[in-house]
Amino acid sequence: QKEVEQDPGPLSVPEGAIVSLNCTYSNSAFQYFMWYRQYSRKGPELLMYTYSSGNKEDGRFTAQVDKSSKYISLFIRDSQPSDSATYLCAMRDYNQGGKLIFGQGTELSVKP
Amino acid sequence: ETGVTQTPRHLVMGMTNKKSLKCEQHLGHNAMYWYKQSAKKPLELMFVYSLEERVENNSVPSRFSPECPNSSHLFLHLHTLQPEDSALYLCASSQDQQGRETQYFGPGTRLLVL
């Protein structure tokens, strides 16, 4: 069983749509949840991070964490073609010294 | 462009070749990492260096040999690789390897082993 489950997609949406990207995890020791964005032929870049359950908003992006359900989400409002990328969820395993555990990534394509 | 650079960006090698991947960070960080990214699989942590000392080796085969001569440079020496080692190799750095420090990634080296 994977430590972090993430639907690989690909996910294709029209410009302006609301996008929902999700990850589930199984280990209660996982804390400090992150979303990375990876454009083609680039390395991942940190998009958002949050520690506690609840919502965190940054412009068109909202990160949501539900620790009781071990479920995290990233919402993108008014999606743009420039949002087309692979989105990786990640979280720290504090039973392993804060090691980053990644999901496999969801490939998103926003069509004009 | 990030403060982490990697060379070469692409590499094709035979199973008997020896090659090296190079990573350089310009961020003044103390920790550096090698990750392997294969298609449709999560990033796999390979090695962690903190203050030039290896602090983690995630059961990586000995055909991968890391080297960290100083806190700004990290190498991954490759020899007698297998076709299944073909992947994107990512280098990352952070202020330190504990806590909540953000890891900054380089663009990766796309490796193809024939």
Distance, CA of B9 to chain centre:
12
Average predicted confidence (pLDDT) for chain B:
91
The pLDDT of residue A52 is: 84
Instruction: Indicate the SS3 state at residue A93.
Output: strand
Q: What average pLDDT does range B71-94 have in this prediction?
A: 95
The pLDDT of residue B39 is: 87
Q: In this complex, how many residue pairs, one in chain A and one in chain B, have their CB atoms less than 8 Å apart?
A: 52
Q: What average pLDDT does range B58-82 have in this prediction?
A: 93
Query: Are A45 and B105 in contact (CB < 8 Å)?
Result: yes
Q: What average pLDDT does range A48-58 have in this prediction?
A: 91
Query: Are B43 and A44 in contact (CB < 8 Å)?
Result: yes
Q: Does A81 touch chain B (CB under 8 A)?
A: no
Q: Between the CA of residue A45 and those of A37, B55, B97, B104, what are the distances in Å?
A: 5, 24, 17, 7
Label residue A1 by pLDDT band (50, 70, 90). Answer: low
Label residue B23 by pLDDT band (50, 70, 90). Answer: very high
pLDDT tens string B37-48: 998 889 999 999
pLDDT tens string A7-42: 888 999 999 999 999 999 998 888 889 999 999 989
Average predicted confidence (pLDDT) for chain A:
92
Q: What average pLDDT does range B95-110 have in this prediction?
A: 84
Q: What average pLDDT does range A65-76 have in this prediction?
A: 94
Give yes or no for residue B8 having a pLDDT over 70: yes
Q: A27-36, A88-97, B46-55, B92-101: which range is least confident on average?
A: B92-101
The pLDDT of residue B100 is: 65
For residue A42, the 8-state DSSP code is: S
Instruction: Indicate the SS3 state at residue A58.
Output: strand
Q: Does B10 touch chain A (CB under 8 A)?
A: no
